[in-house]
Chain A
Amino acid sequence: MEGGPLLEQWWTEASKTVIPYLNITARFEGPPDQDLLKVKGGRGFPYCTLMDAKGEVIWEVRPSGKDAFAKGVKGATALAKYQAALAKDPENKALKANVGILDFMGRSQREKGSTVADLEELAKAEGVDAEILKEFSSIKKSEQIMGALRNQRRDGGKALLDLARKGVAPDDDDDMATQFWVTVTQAAVNAKDKALATKAVDKFVASAKGKPFEERAAEFGADLKKKIAAIPDDDKAKDDDKAKDGDKAKDGDK
Protein backbone atom coordinates (compact mmCIF):
# COMPACT_ATOMS: atom_id res chain seq x y z
CA MET A 1 0.00 0.00 0.00
CA GLU A 2 2.63 2.54 1.12
CA GLY A 3 5.07 1.53 -1.59
CA GLY A 4 2.36 1.23 -4.25
CA PRO A 5 -1.08 2.83 -4.55
CA LEU A 6 -0.43 5.55 -1.95
CA LEU A 7 2.41 6.86 -4.11
CA GLU A 8 0.35 7.05 -7.28
CA GLN A 9 -0.95 10.23 -8.86
CA TRP A 10 -4.59 9.10 -8.83
CA TRP A 11 -4.39 8.83 -5.03
CA THR A 12 -2.96 12.36 -4.67
CA GLU A 13 -5.97 13.60 -6.69
CA ALA A 14 -8.52 11.34 -4.97
CA SER A 15 -7.28 12.35 -1.51
CA LYS A 16 -8.64 15.85 -2.20
CA THR A 17 -12.19 14.47 -2.26
CA VAL A 18 -11.86 13.30 1.37
CA ILE A 19 -10.07 14.34 4.56
CA PRO A 20 -7.03 12.04 4.64
CA TYR A 21 -6.32 10.98 8.20
CA LEU A 22 -3.11 9.13 9.07
CA ASN A 23 -3.00 7.04 12.23
CA ILE A 24 0.30 5.40 13.14
CA THR A 25 0.42 2.95 16.03
CA ALA A 26 3.89 3.53 17.39
CA ARG A 27 4.00 1.74 20.76
CA PHE A 28 5.34 4.69 22.72
CA GLU A 29 3.73 7.74 24.27
CA GLY A 30 3.68 10.88 22.17
CA PRO A 31 2.14 10.27 18.74
CA PRO A 32 -1.56 11.20 18.57
CA ASP A 33 -4.55 8.83 18.72
CA GLN A 34 -2.76 5.67 19.80
CA ASP A 35 -4.49 2.28 19.90
CA LEU A 36 -7.41 3.31 17.70
CA LEU A 37 -7.26 0.34 15.32
CA LYS A 38 -9.49 -1.98 17.37
CA VAL A 39 -11.73 0.88 18.49
CA LYS A 40 -12.53 1.50 14.82
CA GLY A 41 -13.09 -2.18 14.08
CA GLY A 42 -9.80 -3.00 12.40
CA ARG A 43 -8.34 -6.46 12.82
CA GLY A 44 -4.97 -5.85 11.22
CA PHE A 45 -2.70 -3.31 9.56
CA PRO A 46 -3.12 -1.57 7.29
CA TYR A 47 -6.75 -0.72 7.95
CA CYS A 48 -8.47 1.67 5.57
CA THR A 49 -11.82 3.18 6.32
CA LEU A 50 -14.17 5.93 5.36
CA MET A 51 -15.60 7.70 8.40
CA ASP A 52 -18.18 10.39 8.90
CA ALA A 53 -17.62 13.71 10.64
CA LYS A 54 -18.35 12.03 13.98
CA GLY A 55 -15.52 9.58 13.37
CA GLU A 56 -17.89 6.64 12.90
CA VAL A 57 -16.68 4.06 10.41
CA ILE A 58 -19.06 3.85 7.47
CA TRP A 59 -17.17 1.83 4.91
CA GLU A 60 -13.97 -0.18 4.72
CA VAL A 61 -12.08 0.43 1.51
CA ARG A 62 -8.61 -0.44 0.33
CA PRO A 63 -7.35 2.29 -1.98
CA SER A 64 -5.90 -0.31 -4.31
CA GLY A 65 -6.83 1.73 -7.37
CA LYS A 66 -8.79 4.72 -8.57
CA ASP A 67 -11.98 2.83 -9.38
CA ALA A 68 -11.98 0.77 -6.17
CA PHE A 69 -11.55 3.90 -4.07
CA ALA A 70 -14.19 5.86 -6.01
CA LYS A 71 -16.60 2.93 -5.58
CA GLY A 72 -15.98 2.95 -1.83
CA VAL A 73 -16.58 6.70 -1.57
CA LYS A 74 -19.76 6.35 -3.63
CA GLY A 75 -21.01 3.49 -1.44
CA ALA A 76 -20.17 5.30 1.80
CA THR A 77 -21.86 8.50 0.60
CA ALA A 78 -25.00 6.59 -0.39
CA LEU A 79 -25.03 4.71 2.92
CA ALA A 80 -24.73 7.95 4.92
CA LYS A 81 -27.57 9.45 2.85
CA TYR A 82 -29.88 6.46 3.35
CA GLN A 83 -29.00 6.21 7.07
CA ALA A 84 -30.05 9.84 7.52
CA ALA A 85 -33.30 9.21 5.63
CA LEU A 86 -34.00 6.06 7.66
CA ALA A 87 -33.47 7.97 10.90
CA LYS A 88 -36.36 10.24 9.85
CA ASP A 89 -38.54 7.38 8.57
CA PRO A 90 -37.56 4.28 10.63
CA GLU A 91 -40.35 2.02 9.35
CA ASN A 92 -39.60 2.55 5.66
CA LYS A 93 -38.82 -0.95 4.33
CA ALA A 94 -37.07 0.20 1.15
CA LEU A 95 -34.77 2.43 3.18
CA LYS A 96 -34.09 -0.45 5.58
CA ALA A 97 -33.10 -2.59 2.59
CA ASN A 98 -30.89 0.12 1.10
CA VAL A 99 -29.12 0.65 4.43
CA GLY A 100 -28.86 -3.09 5.19
CA ILE A 101 -27.34 -4.01 1.82
CA LEU A 102 -24.93 -1.06 1.71
CA ASP A 103 -23.85 -1.66 5.30
CA PHE A 104 -23.16 -5.32 4.44
CA MET A 105 -21.08 -4.23 1.44
CA GLY A 106 -19.06 -1.76 3.48
CA ARG A 107 -17.90 -4.32 6.04
CA SER A 108 -14.88 -6.45 5.25
CA GLN A 109 -13.11 -6.52 8.63
CA ARG A 110 -15.93 -5.44 10.93
CA GLU A 111 -18.51 -8.05 11.84
CA LYS A 112 -21.47 -8.02 9.50
CA GLY A 113 -24.73 -7.04 11.16
CA SER A 114 -26.89 -9.23 8.94
CA THR A 115 -26.77 -12.32 6.76
CA VAL A 116 -27.46 -12.63 3.05
CA ALA A 117 -30.71 -14.42 3.97
CA ASP A 118 -31.76 -11.44 6.14
CA LEU A 119 -31.03 -9.08 3.29
CA GLU A 120 -32.89 -11.28 0.82
CA GLU A 121 -36.03 -10.67 2.88
CA LEU A 122 -35.40 -6.93 3.09
CA ALA A 123 -34.71 -6.73 -0.66
CA LYS A 124 -38.27 -7.90 -1.39
CA ALA A 125 -39.59 -4.48 -0.35
CA GLU A 126 -40.91 -2.17 -3.04
CA GLY A 127 -38.87 0.87 -3.97
CA VAL A 128 -35.40 -0.48 -3.16
CA ASP A 129 -32.69 1.36 -5.11
CA ALA A 130 -32.16 -0.56 -8.38
CA GLU A 131 -28.40 -0.04 -8.33
CA ILE A 132 -28.22 -1.42 -4.79
CA LEU A 133 -30.31 -4.44 -5.82
CA LYS A 134 -27.86 -5.08 -8.64
CA GLU A 135 -24.98 -4.97 -6.17
CA PHE A 136 -26.91 -7.36 -3.95
CA SER A 137 -27.14 -9.86 -6.82
CA SER A 138 -23.36 -9.69 -7.07
CA ILE A 139 -23.04 -10.23 -3.31
CA LYS A 140 -25.28 -13.31 -3.49
CA LYS A 141 -23.21 -14.72 -6.33
CA SER A 142 -19.94 -14.03 -4.47
CA GLU A 143 -21.30 -15.65 -1.30
CA GLN A 144 -22.30 -18.76 -3.26
CA ILE A 145 -18.87 -18.96 -4.86
CA MET A 146 -17.00 -18.31 -1.61
CA GLY A 147 -19.06 -20.98 0.15
CA ALA A 148 -18.26 -23.48 -2.60
CA LEU A 149 -14.56 -22.52 -2.50
CA ARG A 150 -14.50 -23.08 1.27
CA ASN A 151 -16.01 -26.54 0.76
CA GLN A 152 -13.76 -27.61 -2.08
CA ARG A 153 -11.49 -29.79 0.06
CA ARG A 154 -14.46 -31.59 1.50
CA ASP A 155 -16.42 -32.12 -1.70
CA GLY A 156 -13.57 -32.17 -4.24
CA GLY A 157 -14.95 -29.10 -6.01
CA LYS A 158 -18.38 -30.61 -6.71
CA ALA A 159 -20.27 -27.51 -5.56
CA LEU A 160 -18.05 -25.33 -7.74
CA LEU A 161 -18.63 -27.64 -10.67
CA ASP A 162 -22.39 -27.39 -10.13
CA LEU A 163 -22.19 -23.59 -10.05
CA ALA A 164 -20.15 -23.48 -13.26
CA ARG A 165 -22.64 -25.80 -14.95
CA LYS A 166 -25.43 -23.39 -13.96
CA GLY A 167 -23.42 -20.51 -15.41
CA VAL A 168 -22.58 -19.02 -12.00
CA ALA A 169 -18.99 -17.77 -12.05
CA PRO A 170 -16.98 -14.81 -10.77
CA ASP A 171 -16.44 -11.85 -13.05
CA ASP A 172 -13.23 -12.06 -15.06
CA ASP A 173 -11.54 -9.34 -13.00
CA ASP A 174 -12.63 -10.84 -9.68
CA ASP A 175 -9.78 -11.98 -7.39
CA MET A 176 -11.58 -15.31 -6.93
CA ALA A 177 -11.55 -16.08 -10.67
CA THR A 178 -8.22 -17.94 -10.75
CA GLN A 179 -9.00 -20.23 -7.83
CA PHE A 180 -12.54 -20.77 -9.09
CA TRP A 181 -11.57 -21.76 -12.62
CA VAL A 182 -8.62 -23.97 -11.70
CA THR A 183 -10.78 -25.91 -9.25
CA VAL A 184 -13.60 -26.17 -11.77
CA THR A 185 -11.12 -27.45 -14.37
CA GLN A 186 -9.86 -30.16 -12.03
CA ALA A 187 -13.36 -31.15 -10.95
CA ALA A 188 -14.52 -31.22 -14.58
CA VAL A 189 -11.55 -33.42 -15.53
CA ASN A 190 -12.47 -35.82 -12.72
CA ALA A 191 -16.10 -35.79 -13.89
CA LYS A 192 -14.90 -36.35 -17.49
CA ASP A 193 -16.82 -33.23 -18.55
CA LYS A 194 -14.57 -32.37 -21.46
CA ALA A 195 -16.53 -29.33 -22.71
CA LEU A 196 -16.59 -27.60 -19.33
CA ALA A 197 -12.97 -28.54 -18.55
CA THR A 198 -11.87 -27.05 -21.87
CA LYS A 199 -13.71 -23.79 -21.18
CA ALA A 200 -12.55 -23.68 -17.54
CA VAL A 201 -8.87 -24.18 -18.25
CA ASP A 202 -8.87 -21.31 -20.74
CA LYS A 203 -10.63 -19.10 -18.19
CA PHE A 204 -8.09 -20.15 -15.54
CA VAL A 205 -5.08 -19.27 -17.69
CA ALA A 206 -6.69 -15.99 -18.81
CA SER A 207 -7.49 -15.02 -15.20
CA ALA A 208 -3.79 -15.22 -14.30
CA LYS A 209 -2.69 -12.83 -17.08
CA GLY A 210 -0.65 -9.93 -15.70
CA LYS A 211 -0.42 -11.51 -12.25
CA PRO A 212 2.81 -12.67 -10.55
CA PHE A 213 1.82 -16.31 -11.00
CA GLU A 214 1.01 -15.99 -14.73
CA GLU A 215 3.87 -18.21 -15.87
CA ARG A 216 3.12 -20.97 -13.35
CA ALA A 217 -0.55 -20.83 -14.26
CA ALA A 218 0.31 -21.19 -17.97
CA GLU A 219 2.47 -24.25 -17.21
CA PHE A 220 -0.19 -25.81 -15.00
CA GLY A 221 -2.81 -24.99 -17.62
CA ALA A 222 -0.75 -26.84 -20.23
CA ASP A 223 -0.61 -29.91 -17.93
CA LEU A 224 -4.35 -29.75 -17.39
CA LYS A 225 -4.94 -29.50 -21.15
CA LYS A 226 -3.06 -32.80 -21.59
CA LYS A 227 -5.41 -34.42 -19.08
CA ILE A 228 -8.42 -32.89 -20.85
CA ALA A 229 -7.18 -34.20 -24.20
CA ALA A 230 -7.17 -37.69 -22.70
CA ILE A 231 -10.89 -37.47 -21.87
CA PRO A 232 -13.01 -39.12 -24.57
CA ASP A 233 -15.06 -36.65 -26.64
CA ASP A 234 -18.50 -36.02 -25.16
CA ASP A 235 -20.31 -37.85 -27.97
CA LYS A 236 -17.95 -40.80 -27.68
CA ALA A 237 -18.34 -40.81 -23.90
CA LYS A 238 -22.11 -40.78 -24.29
CA ASP A 239 -21.88 -43.62 -26.83
CA ASP A 240 -19.71 -45.55 -24.39
CA ASP A 241 -22.26 -44.92 -21.62
CA LYS A 242 -25.08 -46.11 -23.91
CA ALA A 243 -23.09 -49.23 -24.73
CA LYS A 244 -22.56 -49.85 -21.01
CA ASP A 245 -26.29 -49.32 -20.36
CA GLY A 246 -27.05 -51.75 -23.18
CA ASP A 247 -24.74 -54.35 -21.67
CA LYS A 248 -26.44 -53.90 -18.30
CA ALA A 249 -29.87 -54.32 -19.91
CA LYS A 250 -28.69 -57.49 -21.62
CA ASP A 251 -27.32 -58.77 -18.31
CA GLY A 252 -30.70 -57.97 -16.77
CA ASP A 253 -32.47 -60.03 -19.49
CA LYS A 254 -30.37 -63.06 -18.59
Chain B
Amino acid sequence: MNALTDRHRERLLGYALLAPVAIFLAGLVAYPFLSAIYLSLTEKIVGYPAHFVGLKNYSALLESGRFRIVAWNSAAFTVGSIVVKLVVGMAMALALHHVVRGNQFIRGILLLPWVIPTVVIALTWKWLMDLFRGLINVALIDVGVVRSGVHWLGDPTLAMVSVIMANVWRGFPFFGVSFLAAMQTVPQELYDAAAVDGAGGWHKFWQITLPSIKGVVAVVTLLSTIVTLNDFNIVYIMTRGGPGAATHIFATYSYELGIMSQRWGLAMAASLASLPLVALLIVAVVRYLHREED
Protein backbone atom coordinates (compact mmCIF):
# COMPACT_ATOMS: atom_id res chain seq x y z
CA MET B 1 0.00 0.00 0.00
CA ASN B 2 2.82 2.32 1.07
CA ALA B 3 4.83 1.45 -2.04
CA LEU B 4 1.81 2.33 -4.21
CA THR B 5 1.42 5.65 -2.44
CA ASP B 6 5.09 6.43 -2.92
CA ARG B 7 4.84 5.61 -6.61
CA HIS B 8 1.75 7.79 -6.79
CA ARG B 9 3.66 10.62 -5.10
CA GLU B 10 6.58 10.19 -7.42
CA ARG B 11 4.30 10.38 -10.40
CA LEU B 12 2.67 13.50 -9.02
CA LEU B 13 6.07 15.08 -8.50
CA GLY B 14 7.00 14.16 -12.05
CA TYR B 15 3.90 15.91 -13.39
CA ALA B 16 4.54 18.88 -11.16
CA LEU B 17 8.10 19.23 -12.45
CA LEU B 18 6.93 18.82 -16.01
CA ALA B 19 4.13 21.33 -15.57
CA PRO B 20 6.23 24.52 -15.98
CA VAL B 21 7.65 23.27 -19.28
CA ALA B 22 4.23 22.12 -20.45
CA ILE B 23 2.70 25.48 -19.51
CA PHE B 24 5.61 27.26 -21.15
CA LEU B 25 5.17 25.31 -24.37
CA ALA B 26 1.41 25.69 -24.34
CA GLY B 27 1.76 29.42 -23.77
CA LEU B 28 4.46 30.05 -26.32
CA VAL B 29 3.62 27.53 -29.03
CA ALA B 30 0.11 26.13 -28.79
CA TYR B 31 -1.72 29.29 -27.73
CA PRO B 32 -0.28 31.62 -30.41
CA PHE B 33 -0.77 28.96 -33.07
CA LEU B 34 -4.39 28.24 -32.15
CA SER B 35 -5.01 31.93 -31.65
CA ALA B 36 -3.66 32.65 -35.14
CA ILE B 37 -6.00 30.04 -36.62
CA TYR B 38 -8.94 31.53 -34.74
CA LEU B 39 -8.04 35.08 -35.78
CA SER B 40 -7.79 34.02 -39.41
CA LEU B 41 -11.46 33.03 -39.17
CA THR B 42 -12.49 36.44 -37.86
CA GLU B 43 -12.82 39.99 -39.07
CA LYS B 44 -10.34 41.44 -36.64
CA ILE B 45 -9.20 45.04 -36.88
CA VAL B 46 -6.61 46.17 -34.35
CA GLY B 47 -8.34 47.66 -31.32
CA TYR B 48 -11.77 46.26 -32.17
CA PRO B 49 -13.26 42.96 -31.02
CA ALA B 50 -12.98 40.04 -33.43
CA HIS B 51 -16.10 38.83 -35.27
CA PHE B 52 -16.26 35.27 -36.51
CA VAL B 53 -16.61 35.21 -40.29
CA GLY B 54 -15.71 31.62 -41.07
CA LEU B 55 -13.64 31.20 -44.22
CA LYS B 56 -14.42 34.68 -45.57
CA ASN B 57 -10.81 35.87 -45.24
CA TYR B 58 -9.51 32.86 -47.11
CA SER B 59 -12.02 33.26 -49.93
CA ALA B 60 -11.18 36.98 -50.11
CA LEU B 61 -7.52 36.09 -50.48
CA LEU B 62 -8.23 33.50 -53.16
CA GLU B 63 -10.14 36.11 -55.13
CA SER B 64 -7.40 38.69 -54.71
CA GLY B 65 -5.07 39.06 -57.66
CA ARG B 66 -2.50 40.56 -55.34
CA PHE B 67 -2.50 37.48 -53.11
CA ARG B 68 -1.99 35.25 -56.14
CA ILE B 69 1.11 37.29 -57.03
CA VAL B 70 2.32 37.00 -53.43
CA ALA B 71 1.72 33.22 -53.39
CA TRP B 72 3.59 32.80 -56.66
CA ASN B 73 6.48 34.95 -55.39
CA SER B 74 6.63 32.98 -52.14
CA ALA B 75 6.80 29.72 -54.07
CA ALA B 76 9.51 31.04 -56.39
CA PHE B 77 11.51 32.45 -53.48
CA THR B 78 11.26 29.26 -51.43
CA VAL B 79 11.84 26.70 -54.19
CA GLY B 80 14.64 28.78 -55.74
CA SER B 81 16.38 29.23 -52.40
CA ILE B 82 16.03 25.60 -51.30
CA VAL B 83 17.26 24.11 -54.56
CA VAL B 84 20.36 26.30 -54.65
CA LYS B 85 21.05 25.80 -50.93
CA LEU B 86 20.76 22.05 -51.44
CA VAL B 87 23.27 22.04 -54.28
CA VAL B 88 25.73 24.48 -52.69
CA GLY B 89 25.41 22.84 -49.27
CA MET B 90 26.07 19.41 -50.76
CA ALA B 91 29.08 20.74 -52.65
CA MET B 92 30.40 22.31 -49.45
CA ALA B 93 29.96 19.07 -47.51
CA LEU B 94 31.60 16.94 -50.20
CA ALA B 95 34.54 19.32 -50.46
CA LEU B 96 35.06 19.50 -46.71
CA HIS B 97 34.63 15.75 -46.34
CA HIS B 98 37.86 15.25 -48.24
CA VAL B 99 39.80 18.14 -46.76
CA VAL B 100 42.23 16.97 -44.12
CA ARG B 101 44.37 20.03 -43.34
CA GLY B 102 42.60 23.10 -42.01
CA ASN B 103 39.25 21.35 -42.04
CA GLN B 104 38.07 22.93 -38.78
CA PHE B 105 39.19 26.40 -39.82
CA ILE B 106 37.45 26.24 -43.21
CA ARG B 107 34.34 24.84 -41.58
CA GLY B 108 34.36 27.75 -39.13
CA ILE B 109 34.73 30.31 -41.92
CA LEU B 110 31.94 28.74 -43.97
CA LEU B 111 29.65 28.84 -40.97
CA LEU B 112 29.99 32.61 -40.68
CA PRO B 113 27.01 33.52 -42.92
CA TRP B 114 24.80 31.42 -40.71
CA VAL B 115 26.05 33.14 -37.56
CA ILE B 116 25.80 36.74 -38.78
CA PRO B 117 22.45 38.41 -37.97
CA THR B 118 20.07 38.33 -40.93
CA VAL B 119 19.58 42.10 -40.81
CA VAL B 120 23.31 42.63 -41.36
CA ILE B 121 23.31 40.14 -44.22
CA ALA B 122 20.33 41.81 -45.90
CA LEU B 123 21.82 45.29 -45.56
CA THR B 124 25.16 44.07 -46.91
CA TRP B 125 23.57 42.43 -49.94
CA LYS B 126 21.41 45.47 -50.53
CA TRP B 127 24.55 47.59 -50.65
CA LEU B 128 26.43 45.05 -52.80
CA MET B 129 23.61 45.12 -55.34
CA ASP B 130 22.97 48.83 -55.36
CA LEU B 131 22.59 50.17 -58.87
CA PHE B 132 25.02 53.03 -58.46
CA ARG B 133 27.36 52.26 -55.59
CA GLY B 134 27.12 48.50 -55.24
CA LEU B 135 30.37 46.58 -55.26
CA ILE B 136 29.04 44.05 -57.76
CA ASN B 137 28.12 46.68 -60.34
CA VAL B 138 31.30 48.65 -59.78
CA ALA B 139 33.35 45.49 -60.28
CA LEU B 140 31.41 44.42 -63.38
CA ILE B 141 31.83 47.86 -64.95
CA ASP B 142 35.50 48.07 -64.02
CA VAL B 143 36.38 44.73 -65.62
CA GLY B 144 34.31 45.65 -68.67
CA VAL B 145 31.65 42.96 -68.37
CA VAL B 146 28.86 45.56 -68.52
CA ARG B 147 28.81 49.20 -69.58
CA SER B 148 26.22 50.37 -67.06
CA GLY B 149 24.99 49.02 -63.73
CA VAL B 150 22.83 45.90 -63.67
CA HIS B 151 19.41 46.52 -62.12
CA TRP B 152 19.77 43.83 -59.48
CA LEU B 153 17.02 45.21 -57.26
CA GLY B 154 15.11 47.03 -59.99
CA ASP B 155 14.35 44.43 -62.63
CA PRO B 156 11.46 42.28 -61.33
CA THR B 157 13.14 38.97 -62.22
CA LEU B 158 16.60 40.01 -61.07
CA ALA B 159 15.15 41.37 -57.84
CA MET B 160 13.77 37.92 -57.06
CA VAL B 161 17.10 36.35 -58.01
CA SER B 162 18.87 38.83 -55.72
CA VAL B 163 16.78 38.09 -52.65
CA ILE B 164 17.21 34.37 -53.36
CA MET B 165 21.00 34.86 -53.55
CA ALA B 166 21.04 36.61 -50.19
CA ASN B 167 18.89 33.88 -48.67
CA VAL B 168 21.12 31.17 -50.12
CA TRP B 169 24.25 32.87 -48.80
CA ARG B 170 22.76 32.96 -45.32
CA GLY B 171 21.37 29.43 -45.37
CA PHE B 172 23.78 27.16 -47.25
CA PRO B 173 26.14 26.58 -44.27
CA PHE B 174 23.28 24.92 -42.37
CA PHE B 175 22.88 22.48 -45.25
CA GLY B 176 26.61 21.98 -45.63
CA VAL B 177 27.39 21.34 -41.98
CA SER B 178 24.41 19.01 -41.54
CA PHE B 179 25.30 17.02 -44.66
CA LEU B 180 28.94 16.84 -43.61
CA ALA B 181 28.03 15.51 -40.19
CA ALA B 182 25.87 12.86 -41.84
CA MET B 183 28.61 11.95 -44.34
CA GLN B 184 31.06 11.35 -41.54
CA THR B 185 28.83 8.59 -40.14
CA VAL B 186 28.94 6.58 -43.37
CA PRO B 187 31.25 3.57 -42.80
CA GLN B 188 34.50 3.81 -44.77
CA GLU B 189 34.22 0.06 -45.53
CA LEU B 190 31.37 0.78 -47.93
CA TYR B 191 33.58 3.10 -49.98
CA ASP B 192 36.49 0.64 -49.83
CA ALA B 193 34.29 -2.20 -51.07
CA ALA B 194 32.91 0.00 -53.85
CA ALA B 195 36.44 0.96 -54.85
CA VAL B 196 37.36 -2.71 -55.09
CA ASP B 197 34.37 -3.15 -57.40
CA GLY B 198 35.74 -0.33 -59.55
CA ALA B 199 33.22 2.36 -58.62
CA GLY B 200 34.24 5.95 -59.43
CA GLY B 201 33.56 9.07 -57.36
CA TRP B 202 30.23 9.78 -59.02
CA HIS B 203 29.00 6.23 -58.47
CA LYS B 204 30.11 6.29 -54.85
CA PHE B 205 28.15 9.50 -54.32
CA TRP B 206 24.95 8.22 -55.96
CA GLN B 207 25.10 4.67 -54.64
CA ILE B 208 26.57 5.15 -51.16
CA THR B 209 26.75 8.74 -49.90
CA LEU B 210 23.36 10.03 -50.99
CA PRO B 211 21.33 6.96 -49.90
CA SER B 212 23.16 6.99 -46.56
CA ILE B 213 22.42 10.61 -45.77
CA LYS B 214 19.01 11.00 -47.41
CA GLY B 215 17.25 11.10 -44.05
CA VAL B 216 19.31 14.11 -43.02
CA VAL B 217 18.80 15.69 -46.45
CA ALA B 218 15.03 15.31 -46.05
CA VAL B 219 14.93 16.79 -42.56
CA VAL B 220 17.27 19.68 -43.37
CA THR B 221 15.31 20.48 -46.53
CA LEU B 222 12.04 20.40 -44.63
CA LEU B 223 13.30 22.66 -41.85
CA SER B 224 14.81 25.11 -44.28
CA THR B 225 11.64 25.14 -46.39
CA ILE B 226 9.62 26.17 -43.36
CA VAL B 227 12.10 28.89 -42.38
CA THR B 228 12.46 30.19 -45.94
CA LEU B 229 8.71 30.27 -46.52
CA ASN B 230 8.38 32.47 -43.46
CA ASP B 231 11.39 34.68 -44.19
CA PHE B 232 10.77 38.39 -43.72
CA ASN B 233 14.00 40.30 -43.05
CA ILE B 234 15.84 39.72 -46.31
CA VAL B 235 13.00 40.78 -48.58
CA TYR B 236 11.80 43.62 -46.37
CA ILE B 237 15.25 45.16 -46.08
CA MET B 238 16.45 44.58 -49.61
CA THR B 239 13.37 45.44 -51.68
CA ARG B 240 10.37 46.02 -49.38
CA GLY B 241 8.57 43.64 -51.70
CA GLY B 242 9.36 45.76 -54.74
CA PRO B 243 9.74 46.76 -57.42
CA GLY B 244 5.96 46.94 -57.39
CA ALA B 245 5.01 43.59 -55.86
CA ALA B 246 7.71 41.60 -57.67
CA THR B 247 9.25 40.23 -54.44
CA HIS B 248 6.28 40.60 -52.12
CA ILE B 249 6.03 37.31 -50.19
CA PHE B 250 3.74 35.88 -47.52
CA ALA B 251 5.64 37.46 -44.61
CA THR B 252 5.91 40.97 -46.07
CA TYR B 253 2.32 40.84 -47.27
CA SER B 254 1.09 39.72 -43.85
CA TYR B 255 3.07 42.55 -42.26
CA GLU B 256 1.51 45.05 -44.63
CA LEU B 257 -1.98 43.74 -43.87
CA GLY B 258 -1.57 43.18 -40.14
CA ILE B 259 0.60 46.04 -38.96
CA MET B 260 0.30 48.77 -41.55
CA SER B 261 -3.37 48.21 -42.44
CA GLN B 262 -4.27 46.87 -38.98
CA ARG B 263 -6.27 43.95 -40.48
CA TRP B 264 -5.21 41.08 -38.27
CA GLY B 265 -7.83 38.60 -39.43
CA LEU B 266 -6.83 38.87 -43.06
CA ALA B 267 -3.13 39.02 -42.18
CA MET B 268 -3.39 35.80 -40.19
CA ALA B 269 -5.20 34.12 -43.07
CA ALA B 270 -2.45 35.27 -45.45
CA SER B 271 0.31 33.99 -43.21
CA LEU B 272 -1.46 30.69 -42.60
CA ALA B 273 -2.19 30.15 -46.28
CA SER B 274 0.97 28.10 -46.66
CA LEU B 275 0.16 25.97 -43.62
CA PRO B 276 -1.55 23.09 -45.50
CA LEU B 277 1.44 22.80 -47.80
CA VAL B 278 3.90 22.84 -44.92
CA ALA B 279 1.78 20.33 -42.99
CA LEU B 280 1.72 18.01 -46.00
CA LEU B 281 5.50 18.33 -46.31
CA ILE B 282 5.98 17.51 -42.63
CA VAL B 283 3.70 14.47 -42.85
CA ALA B 284 5.47 13.26 -46.00
CA VAL B 285 8.93 13.62 -44.47
CA VAL B 286 7.95 12.03 -41.16
CA ARG B 287 6.29 9.08 -42.93
CA TYR B 288 9.32 8.68 -45.14
CA LEU B 289 11.65 8.67 -42.16
CA HIS B 290 9.50 6.10 -40.34
CA ARG B 291 9.50 3.89 -43.42
CA GLU B 292 13.27 4.14 -43.62
CA GLU B 293 13.59 3.18 -39.95
CA ASP B 294 11.32 0.16 -40.45
The yes or no verdict on A and B being binding partners is no
Q: Which residues of A contact B (CB under 8 A)?
A: none
Q: Which residues of B contact A (CB under 8 A)?
A: none
